[in-house]
Structures are given as C-alpha cells and as structure tokens.
Amino acid sequence: MSDYQYQRVLLKLSGEALMGEGDYGIDPAVTDRLARDIKALHDEGLQIGIVVGGGNIFRGIAGAAGGMDRAQADYIGMLATVMNALALQDAFERVECSCRVMSAIQMNEVCEPYIRRRAMHHLEKGDIVIFAAGSGNPYFTTDTAAALRACEIDADCLIKATKVNGIYDKDPAKFDDAVRFDRISYHEVLLRGLQVMDSTATALCQDNRMPIIVLNIEGENHIKRALMGEAIGTVVVQED
C-alpha cells in the first residue's frame, strides 16, 4: 500500500476502451482483461472508482449532427454508459471482485442511484464503484463527469486511460516529430487547446487541483506504475 503515491483513484475509461478490435459495442474479452488488471490494483488496497464513457455505443454530438435534438441524444449517450457499466460489473464479478454500479439517472432495477456519501462508504469498505450515466446532465461528457466524481469522492488523482501514451504537442498519429510531455500544467493544456480531456473537465480539475494522469491503458502495468510515481504518460498538475 505504501508503495503507492495515490491511494484513492478515479479511473476514466472511454467507451472505446471496451470495444477491442471491433468498431462498435463491447468485447467481453476486453472487459475481462480490464477487470483482471484493475482487480490486481484493488487487491493491493487501492480504492478505485471508475467512470465509463459510452462512445462505443452512442455519442450525443453524433446524434445531434444527424438532426436529433441534442439533449435527447445526450440522454441516449448517458444510457449507453449504463450498458458499459453493467458489462464491466459483470466482468468484475466473474473475477470475484466486489463492484457497485451507481447511476446518475435512477434505474433501480439494474443499479443503485448515485449518492455521494454511499459511494464513499462503498469505496472505504473495499468495493469498486462504477459511476454510470455521466453527470446525469446533457451537454456534458463523461470526462467532465470523471472530473466531477474525482473531486466529489476526494480522489488523489484522476487517471484518463486512453490509447495514446500521454499528451503530445501535436497528434502523434499524424506527426512523427510529436513530442510527449511528462508533465504539463492545466493552464498550458487549455492554452494550447491540447485534446486530452474537454476544457470543462480540465478546468474543473484545475479549480480543484485534481492531478490528471493520462496514460495508455494497453501498456504493461501502466496504471500500477503511474500510481507508484513512475513517469508513465503525462501528469497534468498546477505549476505554481
């Protein structure tokens, strides 16, 4: 336990992280692997909250671009995150890891409502908590929901797990000379318009001094190594 620099973490998983090689939906082999990897951290005593996205199923902005009412489309997106949360819970339970799903939109037949104090209690007694349905509000993203929940549960850091190995000065998929930052300030991220999280999420972390670690979920033990303080990915912090 003492090897870890952070003890309570909020992990943001995008919906795309669940779809594996496919281009839509949930790959059970991927959720199984994620559950095993996260359980290994949990078994070492870390308290873990997860916010899962829904982009592997539906994004409100795409619905709106196709002519749908934006708020209505966003509610569909939030429901997509609940599906992902239930799939992850299923994977955790199959590796015998106790896991709660708490939804910002009430649907008591399938999961608990999000109640902050109850979420804290679950974490303290060792359950993994998956926060579903984003913030419960349209016009937000699950990145912002992750920043919000991280602050609410008093997490030590927010981990944004992506398919890229941190934050670069330009898109590493397009530019060979893109340079990765080990550490960068919130201000710089916002100023340069770096596409790491949306600006609302970054600003919320900045206002509350919530460190963000951006890393590649597919890297070997990346989350564990980052939580031990190794320079994995990029850390976004306040530079005083």
Which of 49, 53, 166, 211 is in the footprint of ligand UDP by CB under 6 A? 53
Which of 9, 83, 128, 145 is in the footprint of ligand UDP by CB under 6 A? 145
Count the residues of the shown chain that bind ligand UDP, applying the rule CB under 6 A: 23
Which of 87, 91, 138, 158 is in the footprint of ligand UDP by CB under 6 A? 138
Provide the minimum distance between the beta carbon of 190 and ligand UDP in the complex, in angstroms, as a whole number. 18
Which residue, 72 or 238, is less far from ligand UDP as judged by CB?
72
- Binding status of residue 233 toward ligand UDP by CB under 6 A: no
- Looking at 106-114, 141-149, 174-182, 203-211, which segment touches ligand UDP (CB under 6 A)? 141-149
Provide the minimum distance between the beta carbon of 127 and ligand UDP in the complex, in angstroms, as a whole number. 22
**DSSP line for the chain:** -TT-S-SEEEEEE-GGGGSTTSSSS--HHHHHHHHHHHHHHHHTT-EEEEEE--TTT--HHHHHHTT--HHHHHHHHHHHHHHHHHHHHHHHHHTT--EEEEESS--TTTSEEP-HHHHHHHHHTT-EEEEESTTSSTT--HHHHHHHHHHHTT-SEEEEEESSSSEESS-TTT-TT--EESEEEHHHHHHHT-BTB-HHHHHHHHHTT--EEEEETTSTTHHHHHHTT---SEEEE---
Q: Which residues bind ligand UDP (CB under 6 A)?
A: 14-16, 53-55, 59-61, 74, 77-78, 80-81, 134-135, 137-138, 140-143, 145
